[in-house]
Amino acid sequence: MLILYTNMCINQGVGKTFKFDVIIGEEDMCDREPEKKRILSLMKRNGRIIIYSLRRMGKTSLVDVCSKKMRSIDSEVFHLYVDLSEVASLKETAVRFRSHYEFALKEQFPLKKVKIHINDLLSRLKLDIPGGVELSLEKYASLQPEEYLMSLFQELRKIGEKGPLALIIDEFQGISGLNDAQAILRREVKKLDNAAIVLMGSNQRLLYGMFNNKKSPFFGFGEDLELKPISIGDYVPYMNERFSEVNVSIDSEVAAYMMEKMNGIPNYINELGSWIVDTQTRTQLTKGHIDEALETAAHSKKGRYESALYGYSINQRKFVKAVAKMGVVKSFTGKEMVLETGLSPTELSRIGKNLEDAPILSRDTENRFFILDPFFRKFLEMM
């Protein structure tokens, strides 16, 4: 009784906060109901889907919430989540699969079952080595990546025979430059017909190349889901619930202004929301408050942004500063960019190609360039 009372007191004191830069749970997720329904249904019917969006829109959180929901319903469910960000070779791909697979086994299965699956995989791999020399799974993955992946998928197929299975690959564009890894995964995924396959990524240019190029192993794979901005109608109550902690409120017009300034990206909307909670009390927010919060928050991140620009040449700085000033840029060799930077189209083209996949630049759905992080954009404008 006493414990229950104490917990109640603690929970009452802690209201909802704006979370950012983390994978969020269902309690912090604003809307995304239709997307959740679609992904859950796809997981049940062993479908194949590619989820893409600008960075920081909420892909990983959304799929994580769905995965946890599926696993909470049925203890036989197994979901393998693999993050392929920045893998540079087939070997690194296999090593990444290995660590995520063992993590998922330990997280989702009782120890006895974990041991059975690990031993199964080991004995399968041992058969491939003349003389049956035994190596650790880590060594197999790095010394014989293709054999490791083939055996792992064989094991997954076995798991899929016993219960619902999903393979979730995040930052899938990580292997966009690795033809061997793509070809092996495509072949293995094709055979894995008793599993749902969810592929996610945030570099739309690279993903487009992987799924729309006829020569690419994943050409035409699965169905698409693009995560778009959350509607103002859904975000206003979400914001007010969190602002109420400090007696601050926001109406739809100012919320729309704030969301537009944050490029419609939930991560940055929440970051600015959190900054406002930390710096304001008892007020009805105006557009002026939003401008001021953006400026002071950007200023507080000065050191971080200065180091992000470390190594950028003077001309590259001119380039990103011009993009920041213009907001969106259709062509980085266009007249406005030439005027803004004082650089020639040839030089601009060279810099643009160089920075195309740099994390600070992004492309919108109309293929126009912009600075993804609105605080960074503000910092560049103030520079």
Binding site for ligand ATP (CB under 6 A): 19-24, 29-30, 32, 53, 55-61, 202, 266-267, 270
According to the binding rule CB under 5 A, does residue 204 interact with Mg ion?
A: no
Q: Provide the minimum distance between the beta carbon of 49 and ligand ATP in the complex, in angstroms, as a whole number.
A: 15
Q: Are 381 and 325 in contact (CB under 8 A)?
A: yes
String of contacts with Mg ion for each residue 7-46, x by CB under 5 A: ----------------------------------------
Residue nearest to ligand ATP (CB): 58
Q: Are 176 and 215 in contact (CB under 8 A)?
A: no
Closest CA to 325 of 312, 339, 307: 339
232/338 with CB nearer ligand ATP: 232
Q: Are 18 and 279 in contact (CB under 8 A)?
A: no
Q: Residue 142 is which amino acid?
A: S
Count CB neighbours of 331 within 10 A.
Answer: 15
Q: Provide the minimum distance between the beta carbon of 61 and ligand ATP in the complex, in angstroms, as a whole number.
A: 3
Q: Provide the minimum distance between the beta carbon of 207 and Mg ion in the complex, in angstroms, as a whole number.
A: 13
Q: Provide the minimum distance between the beta carbon of 16 and ligand ATP in the complex, in angstroms, as a whole number.
A: 11
DSSP annotation of 166: E
95-101: list long-range contacts, CB under 8 Å, 24+ apart.
95/138, 95/141, 95/142, 95/145, 97/141, 97/148, 97/149, 97/152, 98/137, 98/138, 98/141, 98/148, 98/152, 101/152
Residue nearest to Mg ion (CB): 60
168/343 with CB nearer ligand ATP: 168
Among 19, 39, 42, 60, binds Mg ion (CB under 5 A): 60
- H helices, E strands: number in the chain: 18, 9
Q: Provide the minimum distance between the beta carbon of 75 and ligand ATP in the complex, in angstroms, as a whole number.
A: 25
Q: Provide the minimum distance between the beta carbon of 77 and ligand ATP in the complex, in angstroms, as a whole number.
A: 21
- Which one of ligand ATP, Mg ion, none interacts with residue 21, CB within 5 to 8 A by kind? ligand ATP
60/93 with CB nearer Mg ion: 60
Q: Residue 331 is which amino acid?
A: S
Provide the binding-site residues for Mg ion, judged by CB under 5 A. Answer: 60
